[in-house]
Chains A and B, each alone.
Chain A
Amino acid sequence: MTWPDAVYGVLRERDTRQFAYVPDSGHRRLIDLAHDDPDVRAIPLTCEEEGVGIVAGAHLGLSRAVLLMQSSGVGNCVNFLSLIQHCAFPFLTLVTMRGEFGEQNPWQFAMGRAVEPTFHAMRVATLRADAPDDVVPVVEAAIGMVDRGGQAVAVLLGQRLLGAKKFGQ
């Protein structure tokens, strides 16, 4: 089983019912699995910030959600993360990283470098996974922090794990 399939299993074992996402190739398998699963809602977003609101709303409704996004969308979330912090919502997001290991598109570096400072400014903890064997234990750790510990946690899926996109070849 590949790590995306294993992560999907972990998220479903957690009873995640809403998968809000802005598409990214690194999340493609998770997004496909969510769309194919009759017991969950796959929710395409126009902007990542909507996913923050949806995760909060699902929690109010006694359910669980996750936000899937790419690093380039983290800055879009800041205003809505004030809702997470002020109300102490448990919050889980999985972020595929760009603008780091092997990045060839110079447009990606600015937001890639800002991901961790942005999350930390909004009091969202970050955990990283950079190798396939890391991913499931890191996601499980994050779920424990979120669902038991009541924290806001972003799992950063490193570009070394995902593979850098090749340009000009």
Chain B
Amino acid sequence: MDRREAVARLLGDSGALVVTGLGNAANDVAALTDQGDHVFAMDGAMGAAVSVGLGLALAQPERRVVVVTGDGELLMNLGTLATVAVQQPANLTVICLDNAAYELTGGQATHTAHGVDLAGVALAAGWPAALTVGGPGDLDAARKLVDADGLAFVLVKVDPGNTPYDRLDRNGQSIRLRFRRALAGDAHLD
């Protein structure tokens, strides 16, 4: 499945606060939203996306929080799936775009290429819902998990290949301040 199509159908007009992992996940969400102020698109700190999303979800229980990341990024800190399961935040969805490869470094196989099932890991850790999207026909059910109350993990099997976006804002201070100001509705916040 095309990853840009999947991200558009899972996130388009969702109104959620979004944290992304590095690389193509950041590019995909930035391209969809023109890197909106509600998007914290990381292009480094590999492995941190879900933990940042957890802190955000616990801080903003009235808002939906969606983490969009890749299989390689998630594999770097699988323990966070257990930490999230213990907290059970009712406003968090993690979308993992699984291309079974470290695409940015030359397409080397990740563990998922060898059969590691990240949705199975989430379920075993205690996530109440985990869905694998194998094709476009599964996207409507997955979108419900993005929008509905609860904690959910969505694993999307996507095609290999990079999805560049040449306008990604990598200024960390800028994206942090934009995100907070938009959330607070206060242009003068720090």
Contacts and interface: CB of A to CB of B under 8 A. Distances in A.
A17 B57 CA distance: 12
A58 B48 contact: no
B60 A61 contact: yes
A86 B47 CA distance: 16
Given A41-B87, A45-B83, A57 B45 contact: no
Interface residues of A, number: 34
Interface in B34-57: 40, 42, 44-57
Given A44-B86, A49-B77, A53-B55, A60 B176 contact: yes
Interface stretch (B7-15, B106-114, B179-187): B179-187
Nearest to B183: A62
Given A56-B52, A58-B58, A150-B190, A46 B176 contact: no
Interface string A79-100: 1101100111100000000000
B51 A50 contact: yes
A18 interface: yes
Contacts of B51: 49-54, 57, 80
A79 B55 contact: no
Nearest to A41: B58
Say whether chain B's binding surface is mostly helix, strand, loop, or mixed: helix
Given A50-B77, A50-B79, A57-B51, A62 B180 contact: yes
Interface of A: 17-18, 20, 41, 43-47, 49-63, 65, 79-80, 82-83, 86-89, 150
B82 A54 contact: no
A49 to B, nearest CB: 7
Contacts, number: 128
Interface of B: 17, 19, 40, 42, 44-60, 77, 79-80, 82-83, 86-87, 172-173, 175-176, 179-180, 183-184, 190
9 contacts: A43-B86, A46-B79, A50-B77, A50-B83, A59-B176, A61-B60, A83-B44, A83-B172, A87-B175
B72 to A, nearest CB: 14
A65 B55 CA distance: 8
B55 A46 contact: no
A80 B47 contact: yes
Contacts of B58: 17-18, 41, 43, 54, 57-58, 61, 63
